[in-house]
Structure 1
Amino acid sequence: MSAVIEVSVAHRLGAFSLDAEFASDGRLTALFGRSGSGKTSLVNVISGLIRPQAGCVVIDGRVMVDSAAGVFVPKHKRRIGYVFQEARLFPHLSVRQNLLYGRWFAPQAEDGGSTLDDVLDLLGIGHLLQRQPGALSGGEKQRVAIGRALLAKPRLLLMDEPLASLDEERKAEILPYIERLRDGFGIPIVYVSHSIAEVARLATHLVILGQGKVSMSGPTAELMSRPDVPILSTSAEAGAILEARVLRHEPEHGLTILGTAAGPLQIARRNLPEGTALRVRILASDVMLSLKPLDGISALNVLPGQVSAIGVRHGDGGALEVRLDCNGVGLLARLTVKSAEQLRLAPGSPVYAVIKSVSIDMP
């Protein structure tokens, strides 16, 4: 599959230098890094708000920037939808009028793209059409802002920390709608975030930024299970994400059984239909290792695998991040140095990953 977005730019903004390169064919590409890492600057280059001093930007095969050839497509001709931290709705217009405002920017000669009914169904905002923005919750405002961007028929949707101003309840409300957008609309998304939980749940491709440079870029599940990714491995939220599908429920035990490539997983009961595809996140701190299958333990999930890499977690007493290969699926386990020495772990060592059902999270 060819890259949907290709970026290779160099630009100096005062004392800050942006020198970033990545290519992604993912449905949702997350730009991840600490504050000041260059995420927003890179998004502004992609959108056309910043003209880089050198480099190129290509979106879906269309050249937006090529400094060597003197090409710079202005922002109003790029057909890029932008969703900010704040919804930025017009307070004097109804929800319906705010949504339809996006149509002014849609190319009139093209068929297809999102219709109003499509957007209302996707975002669940049909009942809000007659309301004013002042009568909406933060999550409802952001859904309307996303709908307005979609109705402009964008080639690419840029979302710059769209959940940053929301509380946890509102975030939980809007995340499923972003998933539906990612999976059902065919519009590539670039998503800026400094939240590991959001990245784990949403991103199909991950770009890690630090001090204006791309340190790593690749499929999210692959990068998040590597022990050599400093910004991830030094976090209490370090772990792995697994693609899963609901196999069945055991209501008498309060459990849902998932199928994954690594093996079956039993998690706390979720009200999801059989066959539902989802992601689960397993924190490195919730994985124990054994050299042989265990009997007589309370943990319900035991996955066979082998050690693929061992990395040191700096600044925490020398704790180790151990990467496991469980039938081609990467997991992370966090162990003390003493535990690793007692188990005599080394790359290639066969092990069993032991995970409590209550520890497995749906990000």
Structure 2
Amino acid sequence: MLKVDVEKSLKAFHLNTRFECESSGVIALFGRSGSGKTSIVNMLAGLLTPERGEVVVKDRVLFDSSKGINVPPQERRLGYVFQEDRLFPHLTVRRNLLYGWKRAPKTERRIQLEQVVEMLGIEALLERHPGKLSGGEKQRVALGRALLANPSLLLMDEPLAALDQARKEDVLPFIERLRDEFDVPIIYVSHSMEEIVRLADTMVLISDGRVEAVGAVDDVMGRLDLRPLTGRYEAGAVLSARVSSHDNEFALTELEFGGGTLRIPLLDVPTGTLLRLRIRARDVSLALTPPADISIQNVFKATIVAIGSETGPQIDLRLEAGGAAVWARITKRALMSLKLEPGREIYAMVKAIAVDRHSLGRVTGPDRFLSGE
């Protein structure tokens, strides 16, 4: 288990955070800038000392104010990937990679240089210096250096924030492989919902130094009461679906989920692949009767199970489609004119091109997934 129960005053900001979860897979710390995410990670790493509390990683106590325990950072056996690469500029890529590996106890060097070089595709970079690398290449090397320290837990603090979208798409598959192939639990800090949905198993939602919710990503994203914190613009449903067929003529892939069939732009993945995907509430329209003669490719029957209480002109509705939760955002005028209420059966409509491809992932286990693109 991972247990964090810490308190710290930082100038005018007071952090009082407590959560427990399984120390496996990817645990995402999500919240707005200034919510305390980086401070929590720094306390895990030992770079910031809590005034009170306890930090336990896999039954190993790293900090306990009541017992006077405060393990030094270099003895915590945690890897850290920062927002900026922080590579040693005077060392080659090879020597940067081996820096942490040489400091790991010989008996615990289960991850080797050759494995990491192959996974990250950086063999051609080994004799270069960091100044000769692109931003994406630097982050791949930083990932490798942290992994070669053979840590019991890997900390990633906004590792993609300094990269543009194209470079992010280059690095994300390597983070997915790291997650799936090395069995090292990861604390992943981000304010990008796309990254969280694509990578994480568990979400810890943080606001003003406090934990507001802990749970599976789809559960936390599905809670109406957390919409002010998870973000109304990005709000939506996280669904599991299986690739059933490909339509090469029209460049579409068909997915089967609890509520029926979804068609999305063509994916290069085998049939039978289990995917996790996000459909934003703003991309779902509703009809009382089966729509006909429309361009929208995805229409499925659903039941309204909850209606939000937003004060503005729009409102969110939670739908259930064959056991799958789906969200729709409509105007209050539409809500009134259609006389929508909980228990009402309706038809949900989603454009094929509306499915969020940046957060699309493939399930590799009960709760894990990697890119399907």
TM-score normalized by structure 1?
0.93
Relative to structure 1, the CA distance from residue 137 to residue 9 in structure 2 (aligned partners, 3 Å threshold; closer, same or farther) is: same
Counterpart position of 1:47: 45
Matched, 1:92 2:96: no
Matched, 1:31 2:29: yes
| Structure-2 separation of matches of 1:128 and 1:111 | 23
In the TM superposition, what whole-angstrom CA distance separates every residue of 1:10-52 from its partner, at most 9, and x where no partner exists?
A: 2212221111111222511111111111111111111111221
Relative to structure 1, the CA distance from residue 232 to residue 282 in structure 2 (aligned partners, 3 Å threshold; closer, same or farther) is: farther
Matched, 1:211 2:235: no
Counterpart position of 1:324: 319
Indicate if the aligned counterparts of 1:246 and 1:259 stay in contact, CA closer than 8 A.
yes
- Residues 259-268 or 162-171, more deviating: 259-268
Matched, 1:273 2:267: no
How many residues are treated as equivalent by the alignment? 357
Aligned-residue identity in percent: 50
Counterpart position of 2:368: none
- Offset at 1:109? 2.3
Indicate if the aligned counterparts of 1:286 and 1:356 stay in contact, CA closer than 8 A.
yes
- Offset at 1:115? 1.4
Map 1:284-323 onto structure 2 (within 5 A): 284-314=281-311, 317-323=312-318
In the TM superposition, what whole-angstrom CA distance separates every residue of 1:281-314 from its partner, at most 9, and x where no partner exists?
A: 2111100122333333222212333222221344
SS of residue in 1 equivalent to 2:141: helix
Ranges of 4+ aligned residues in structure 1 off by more than 4 Å: none
SS of residue in 2 equivalent to 1:68: coil
Map 1:1-363 onto structure 2 (within 5 A): 3=1, 5-25=2-22, 27-110=25-108, 112=110, 114-232=111-229, 234-314=231-311, 317-362=312-357, 363=359
Question: What RMSD in Å do the two structures reach over aligned CA positions?
Answer: 1.8
In the TM superposition, what whole-angstrom CA distance separates every residue of 1:137-193 from its partner, at most 9, and x where no partner exists?
A: 111100100000000100111000011111111011111111222222211111111
TM-score normalized by structure 2?
0.90
Gaps of 5+ in 2: 360-373
The one-letter amino acid of 1:339's match is A
SS of residue in 1 equivalent to 2:66: helix
Gaps of 5+ in 1: none
In the TM superposition, what whole-angstrom CA distance separates every residue of 1:51-92 from its partner, at most 9, and x where no partner exists?
A: 212221111222212222322222111111000011111122
Indicate if the aligned counterparts of 1:37 and 1:212 stay in contact, CA closer than 8 A.
yes
- Offset at 1:111? 5.3
| Structure-1 separation of matches of 2:122 and 2:9 | 42
The one-letter amino acid of 1:157's match is L
